[in-house]
Amino acid sequence: MDFLLTEEQLMLKDMVAKFAKERIAPEASENERNHRFPAEIIKEAGELGLMGIAYPSEYGGSGMDFVSYFLAIEEISRYCASTGVIISAHSSLVCDPIFRFGTEEQKQRYLPDLLSGNKIGSFSLTEAGAGSDAGATKTTAVLDGDEWILNGSKLFATNGKEADVFILIASTDSSKKTRGLTAFIVDKETPGYKIGKVEKKLGIKSSSTAEIILENVRIPKTQMLGDLNSGFKVSMVTLDGGRLGIASQALGIAKACIEDSIKYSKERFQFDQPISNNQAIQWMLADMWVEYEAARLLVYRASIMKDRKMVYSKEAAAAKLKASEVAMDCARKAIQIFGGYGYTEDFNVERYYRDAKITEIYEGTSEIQRLVIARTLLAD
């Protein structure tokens, strides 16, 4: 399949794979178990240009394409899915909307620090009563002279604990539901802006997932991102790209399951022979590989469509739906191949299993991806 990739994309993929294997892999499990944010690794990723792969050099980006960026997320997630989502949420959910919808002043002010990794970004859409129904946002933004006053609370913000810059969606006209939401850029230090509960989770524990509390947060009028009442569309367009980041993260987890299972099945002897001699194991490996390759094609196709600036919402939803379900299935099979050892912390497959689950949930559950796909099919 790599015949579809250009020489430049393959070089980037190899460089990231080397960085991930040598630098990220050795501390991935320990960081994850200890809920430790890999600050030093993120700094080094920034120095390598990995925090702003797909953005122009004039703003401090690496000037490559989105295919390259999604390849990088897969290679990183192969060894650490937490690091994968830290970079994906930062790039897809924060750098991307600022680049696409920001004013020139906003781009000049925020992108150089974000694209170099000097600052971390976080995206706040979800609320207690607004998960899949993202339009049900209750956080409010009220204009007072030259300032917006924000009040409310947000949930499940990836990077919430460490981020410096937040994209936040608030209601500016509650009578209009999805057509009455607006996006804002909020700096961490703004008075009234607080990090609330940091979630304790099943997996991806190196990445923080936090509550954001807003109490009379005053921000200049110029911090509005995009047009007034366009926040839902800003979010949906942003999430189309974010879903490909998560699909790529899921591909990385699936690849880890396959590679580790192949190695283990050749080393593990039972009944005087490697378990890889058993057809039951061979069929699991074959099915894992076929499903991973099928998911990879969907991710590549949607990524190419994004690079070509085509409408790719359905294709992104399909890629995330497939890749996340493949990651979960590969993780389940990997633990089965490892047997009792797979259930222990002595091997990485238990981490892959815990990490895989969230890919079926965040940035739109599998049910929401099916809804997006079906609505598009029926509208065509």
Give catalytic residue positions: 363
Instruction: Work out whether 308 is an interface residue with ligand CAA (CB under 6 A).
Output: no
What's the min distance (Å) between Cβ of 227 and ligand CAA?
A: 12
What's the min distance (Å) between Cβ of 272 and ligand CAA?
A: 48
Whether the Cβ atoms of residue 171 and residue 130 lie closer than 8 Å to each other: no
Residue 334 to residue 348: CA distance in whole angstroms: 10
Cβ of 220: how many Cβ atoms within 10 Å? 9
Q: Mark 9-28 with x for binding to ligand CAA (rule: CB under 6 A) and - for no binding.
A: --------------------
Instruction: Work out whether 126 is an interface residue with ligand CAA (CB under 6 A).
Output: yes
Separation in Å, CA 185 to CA 59, 98, 105, 155, 166: 17, 9, 12, 17, 6
Instruction: Work out whether 89 is an interface residue with ligand CAA (CB under 6 A).
Output: yes
Instruction: Work out whether 180 is an interface residue with ligand CAA (CB under 6 A).
Output: no
Residue placing its CB nearer to ligand CAA in the complex, 96 or 260: 96
Instruction: Work out whether 273 is an interface residue with ligand CAA (CB under 6 A).
Output: no
In three-state secondary structure terms, 135 is helix
What's the min distance (Å) between Cβ of 197 and ligand CAA?
A: 15
Query: DSSP letter string over 319-366?
Result: HHHHHHHHHHHHHHHHHHHHGGGGGSTTSTHHHHHHHHHHHTTTTS-H
Q: Which amino acid is at 363?
A: E
Query: What are the E-state strand segments in the chain?
Result: 121-124, 140-144, 147-158, 165-171, 181-187, 193-198, 209-220, 224-225, 269-270, 273-274
Instruction: Work out whether 167 is an interface residue with ligand CAA (CB under 6 A).
Output: no
What's the min distance (Å) between Cβ of 63 and ligand CAA?
A: 26
Instruction: Work out whether 231 is an interface residue with ligand CAA (CB under 6 A).
Output: no
Instruction: Work out whether 193 is an interface residue with ligand CAA (CB under 6 A).
Output: no
Instruction: Work out whether 158 is an interface residue with ligand CAA (CB under 6 A).
Output: yes
Tell me which DSSP letter residue 189 carries. T
Separation in Å, CA 346 to CA 62, 229, 264, 338: 38, 51, 13, 11
Pairing verdict, β 181-187 and 165-171: antiparallel
Residue placing its CB nearer to ligand CAA in the complex, 132 or 222: 132
- Residues 74, 240, 325, 355: which binds ligand CAA (CB under 6 A)? 240
Instruction: Work out whether 97 is an interface residue with ligand CAA (CB under 6 A).
Output: no
Instruction: Work out whether 166 is an interface residue with ligand CAA (CB under 6 A).
Output: no
Residue 119 to residue 43: CA distance in whole angstroms: 10
Residue placing its CB nearer to ligand CAA in the complex, 245 or 342: 245
By the criterion CB under 6 A, which residues form the site for ligand CAA? 89, 93, 123, 125-126, 132-135, 156-158, 178-179, 232-233, 236-237, 239-240, 313, 362-364, 368, 371-372
